[in-house]
Amino acid sequence: MSQHNYTRAEKDDGWDINNVDHIDLNGNPILLATDIKVALPDRQFSVRCDGTSCVIEFTPDLNPAEVIILDQTVADHKAISKITQFQNKKIKKIDKKTGDLIDNGFEFPPASGKIFSLSGNAQRKMIGTHEVKDHPALTYPIEWNTKNDLDSILISDAAELNAFYLTGLGTMRAWIDSGTLLKRDVRSATTRAEVNAVNDNR
């Protein structure tokens, strides 16, 4: 039996994984054992990892060429896990900012200074009202309070309600789409420097 010991140099390396405690950008677990199986097929081994070290045991012993393959596999896994972990952190920050921007609400009519909520409840109210905008039972005008409840507008007819709804939807969609573009850049990055170069200046 041959035993191979590896340590991690940084707190957030993320390479010492034998359980599902780290995921890639698609939500799939990154497992060191899986990488070793691919690199050294048909070899029996066990992997024991903790917070600072990883022990890999093979029976029978690895030959010198296989040891080189194992060392490179572990090194590659460390590099991939580190960048993926860094990407995940950046994407979470982008998602948070997207949510904060949506929480700011939307202005209607344009240049009026009146801001309306895009909270979950507000979205459901807008969608529900918009779905029945042409129903005879819906009477106009409709008074709609601003986000801070200090003002309101009177929506005079179905056309204006449609414009109100599309403005809110368009505002939300614009923030989501801009976040998606930033996350696409993060996912395509291959180094920490490239991840850091993605600036969320929305």
Domains and CATH numbers, the chain: 2-87 (3.30.70), 104-196 (no CATH)
DSSP-assigned states of every residue in 6-28 = EE-SSTT-----SSS--B-TTS-
Q: Taking the CB of residue 192, how many other CB atoms lie within 10 A of it?
A: 13
More confident of the two residues 98 and 18: 98
CA 200 from chain center: how many Å?
14
- Whether 16 shows a pLDDT value over 50: the answer reads no
Query: Over the stretch 25-72, which tens digit does the pLDDT of each residue have?
Result: 666 666 788 889 999 998 999 888 766 678 899 999 999 999 999 999
Please report, rounded to a whole number, the percentage of residues in the chain having pLDDT higher than 90.
68
